[in-house]
Structure 1
Amino acid sequence: MERLKGTNGKPVSAYADPNIDSLLKHSIRTQLESLLQSKVSVEQRIELLQKSFVDATSLILSDTKVTHHQLVKAFETMYDQAVQSMALAELSQDVLTRQYISPTGLIMSPYNCKHTIKDVYRIKGYARGIDKAIQSKIKHKAKINILYPACGPFAPLLLPLLSYYKDTKKYSAQQLQVMLVDIQPGAVMTLRQLVKDLQLDEYISLIEEVDATQYVPDVGIDLLVLEAMHHGFTKEGQLSIAKHLVQFLNIDGWMIPQNVSIKGVMVIGETEFNQQWKSADYSHSTKLSDVAQQDRIELGEIFSVNKSSLLRIQVLELEDGVSVIPVNQITFPTGVEDMHKRFLAIYAHIDTFAEEAVGQYDSGITHPKPDMSIYVDCKPREIEHTHFVASSGDTVQFYYQLSGLPGFVPVKV
């Protein structure tokens, strides 16, 4: 198949080459749409890319009301443009799709990570918080150093902001210097292409392929921006990365998010995950059903992750190299007639900075995660070693497993 050419007669992309275009060949529709987009010149593509990043950021930073539809449309446009830079980075199929479990958690493939840039309310909560943190820092420092580990192929919490800052001249590269770190070679290849296309090189002091839990920065960090989470605070290495890198913050340095609160709740699955959303056009913390919320049995906070708690963490080393952290205890309430019909769900509330937040159901990372291995006031037909059986009134100590696939382990007190 012949490649489409730009105004200078040279190929503007590799979309039509199935050996290179492994990113887009998964869908005929996506491939055809990309072929249509590739008819623009290189200069036009760069302009559209930069505009999409600025437009999306302008909407989320705006204090005027912006509709959900407007946000979704802007973020989809930004994604469509970013994906073209990813295709131009010419990742092989293996590099694009490589996903594995490291000693500290799941390492997602660049292919799977690319969708994060479409997670509207995750990025909104982080970007508005980061913007306010930068405003506060710049008042007292001429230049601030920002570290963004496990940033993925698009670094979605910072690159849109930097594009906006450059376009509006709000902050210069002399005021902000950003370090981007990721363990995936494909993420780093894409980042280099995207930063080049966005013409943000002057803001980026480092793009490095390295395990974030081993990385040692050569400058003090003013802002540590981190989002490597899965819902229920499981699977990914957010805590291990934060625990390692918090030591490199300057004395007055801040971590974004400032606090992640993980809570437990006993729910009726049909009410919580089905009936609650039947009349909602999209899930969001502002659309929670009063009936469903009243039906919940909140158990309280299981774990709180912030700069102070990270510096106080005590790790227990068990056999076979397994590391755990003792966190909070909860007590299952008594007198709940339908407790045997309920299951434990764990959810996160993320406070990014200055009252900006990502609430439950705002994003996949804050969506309550059911733990179907825990039984309260009932027993499975056949008890296996993975099951945890408790009764109303029992007090349970939770531990957070750091190694393998991170997650919570309950133990009866």
Structure 2
Amino acid sequence: MERLENTNTKPFSDYTDPNIDSLLKHSIRTQLESLLQSKVSVGQRLELLQKSFVEAISLILSDTKVTHQQLVSAFENMYDQAVQSMALAELSQEVLTRQYISDTGLIMSPYNCKHTIKDVYRIKGYARGIDKAIQSKLKHKSKINILYPACGPFAPLLLPLLSYYKDTQKYSAQQLQVILVDVQPGAVMTLHQLVKDLQLEDYVSLIQEADATQFEPDVDIDLLVLEAMQHGFTKEGQLSIAKHLVKFLNIDGWLIPQSVSIRGMMVVGETEFNQQWKEVDYSHSTNMTKDAKEDRVELGEILSINKSSLLNMPILELEDGVNVVPANKVTLPDGVEDMSERFLAIYAHIDTFAEESVGQYDSGITHPKPEMSVYIDSRPREIEHTHFVANSGDTVQFYYQLSGLPGFVPVKV
């Protein structure tokens, strides 16, 4: 296995032709500043910002039925208001768009990360779970410390919740203290501005620019809130960050999400990714069709991640310092007539806390990812070193690559 070069100091433009990247065709800073042209006073802007955060969380915490469109509208409004704080943070275009590959995964630019705050069902699954976890912790403690690493410029899993707590007086800053960590200078600059604009300084004890895989908190952590994932559990460093920081949890501390289950399946692409979505307005686990689910060939769990598994998870170091984690073995089923026409897809199910979750298709991070380099009962015309070829009945050992761009590596037993 070839070790990926550490490109920590190189801008993403080294890897992408700016001429074909629409993000770099225009001045992003100019676009953001244009959002500030509306004729509102500073006080009015802050009121609109704070109100948008509270309203979005009020909807997802509500036990009454809320429509998809109501949620989308509220989250779009929250995003529009948050972007104004990003503009006021005065990020240069270079800082705003800087994206690179570190030793443990893709470091997304603040510009790309800002869209997370619009991911309705990702935030709903996390925020409802975090709210329940906080409630449970405060039954037994007068104050808890929450660590949120790789939080991005808007810290969307916590700042809206804190705004709601402050507005409703549900929990005070004497009960909750939050540490926000991100390696991107632009994210940290935006966080300072946004926390100030939301008037949440009392709740946020520290905003730290640091690599989350190296950061060491100076207080015991009661809740570790982490979401640094992409679909198929690839590219970003969720596992490396969790593995490093889980040891700073109190003995009775909780990781949010409490568990992530990554599973594999053999699917017909047309059925899974096209036909089942033709009659619905949006993709979501509740809108999956019975026919599509029955057409799948489930392979089972490839990797399970929770507090216990992280603390006991061995890391194998290969040549050139490449690190991998042994995952599960899967035996490919016999007797599937059209196996050669199917391809492997990997998806995640996330249990945040209690009964709250983010299911497949609820968010980009749980959307099944096709693995087009894997061939079962078929062979590519020209086999390359990236291809994996196996047959029905074979047993496959999966490993998870931590170094460079994370992802699964299948090996025939």
- Conserved in 2, the CA contact under 8 Å of 1:179 and 1:204? yes
SS at match of 1:201: coil
| Aligned equivalents of 1:59, 1:324: Cα separation in 2 | 41
State how far apart, in whole Å, the 2-side matches of 1:340 and 1:48 are.
55
Q: Name the counterpart of 1:310.
A: 310
Letter in structure 2 aligned against 1:327: A
Matched-pair contact (CA < 8 Å) for 2:60–2:128: yes
Partner of 1:338: 338
- For residues 149 and 132 of structure 1, the distance between their equivalents in structure 2, rounded to whole angstroms, comes to 20
**Partner of residue 186, structure 1:** 186
Alignment of 1:12-27 (within 5 A): 22-23=27-28, 25=30
Q: Match of 2:230?
A: 230
String of CA shifts for 1:28-78, please: whole Å, max 9, x gaps.
xx776x255x31011000000000000000000000000000000000000
What's 1:239 paired with? 239
Mapped partners of 1:336, 1:231: distance in 2: 26
CA displacement at 1:312 relative to structure 2 = 0.6
Q: Which residue of 2 aligns with 1:13?
A: none
The amino acid across from 1:221 in the alignment is I
Structure 2 CA distance for partners of 1:24 and 1:79, relative to 1, 3 Å: farther
Partner SS for 1:142: coil
Q: Percent identity?
A: 81
- 8 Å CA contact 1:23–1:87 kept in 2: the answer is no
Per-residue CA distance 1:9-35 (angstroms, 9 max, x = gap) = xxxxxxxxxxxx944545xxx776x25
Partner in structure 2 of residue 10 of structure 1? none
CA distance in 1, matches of 2:398, 2:36: 52
Instruction: Give the counterpart letter for 2:54 in structure 1.
Output: V
Q: Calculate the aligned-residue CA RMSD, in Å.
A: 1.1
Equivalent residues of 1:145, 1:176 under 8 A apart: yes
1:274-305 CA-to-partner distances (Å, cap 9, x unmatched) read 00100010000000010000000000000000
Question: Given that residues 22 and 92 in structure 1 are in contact (C-alpha distance below 8 angstroms), is that contact kept between their aligned partners in structure 2?
Answer: no
Aligned counterpart, 2:93: 93
What whole-Å deviation, never above 9, does each CA across 1:136-183 have from its counterpart, x for those lacking one? 000000000000000000000000000000000000000000000000
Cα deviations by residue, 1:189-228 (Å, 9 ceiling, x for unpaired): 0000000000000000000000000000000000000000
Alpha-carbon distance between aligned partners in 2 of 1:240 and 1:392, rounded to the nearest angstrom: 33
1 CA distance for matches of 2:108 and 2:36?
27
AA partner of residue 305 (structure 1): I
Contact persistence 1:119–1:363 (CA under 8 A): yes
Q: Which runs of 4+ in 1 moved over 4 A?
A: none
Q: What residue is the counterpart of 1:102 in the other structure? A: 102
What SS class does the counterpart of residue 347 from structure 2 fall into?
A: strand
User: Which residue does the alignment assign to 1:40?
Assistant: 40
Letter in 2 for 1:194: L
The corresponding residue for 1:146 is 146
CA distance in 2, matches of 1:341, 1:102: 36
The Cα offsets for residues 352-382 of structure 1, whole Å up to 9 and x where unpaired, read as: 0001000000000000000000000000000
What is the aligned partner in structure 1 of residue 160 from structure 2?
160
Q: TM-score, normalised by structure 1?
A: 0.93
Structure 1 counterpart of 2:81: 81
Note if 1:325 corresponds to 2:331.
no
The aligned residue for residue 5 of structure 2 is: none
Matches within 5 A, 1:128-147: 128-147=128-147
Q: Report SS of the residue matched to 2:400.
A: strand
Q: Distance in 1 between matches of 2:327 and 2:36?
A: 52
Q: Which residue of 1 aligns with 2:364?
A: 364
Q: Deviations over 1:97-150 (max 9, x none)?
A: 000000000000000000000000000000000000000000000000000000
Q: Distance in 2 between matches of 1:286 and 1:23?
A: 37
Q: What one-letter code is carried by the residue in structure 2 that aligns with 1:259?
A: S
> C-alpha separation between the residues in 1 aligned to 2:273 and 2:313?
34
Q: Deviations over 1:254-285 (max 9, x none)?
A: 00000000000000000000001000100000
CA distance in structure 1 between the partners assigned to 2:323 and 2:121 by the alignment: 33
Whole-angstrom distance in 2 between the partners of 1:31 and 1:42: 15
Structure 1 residue runs of 5 or longer lacking an equivalent are 1-20
SS in 2 for 1:308: helix
Q: Tell me, in whole angstroms, the C-alpha distance in 2 between the residues paired with 1:183 and 1:49.
A: 25
Distance in 2 (alpha carbons) for counterparts of 1:359 and 1:35: 36
Give yes or no for contact 1:165–1:171 (8 Å, CA) kept in 2.
yes
TM-score, normalised to structure 2, is 0.93
Q: How does 1:206-285 map to 2 (within 5 A)?
A: 206-285=206-285
1:321 is displaced (CA, Å) by 1.0
SS of residue paired to 1:393 = coil
Counterpart Cα distance in 2 of 1:92 and 1:35: 16
Q: Name the residue aligned to 2:12.
A: none
TM-fit CA distance, 1:319:
0.3
CA distance in 1, matches of 2:36, 2:145: 39
Tell me by how many angstroms 1:401 deviates: 0.3
**Given residue 234 of structure 1, which amino acid in structure 2 is its aligned partner?**
T
Q: 1:131, 1:385 → 2: CA distance?
A: 46
The letter for the 2-side match of 1:353 is F
What is the SS of the residue equivalent to 1:389?
strand
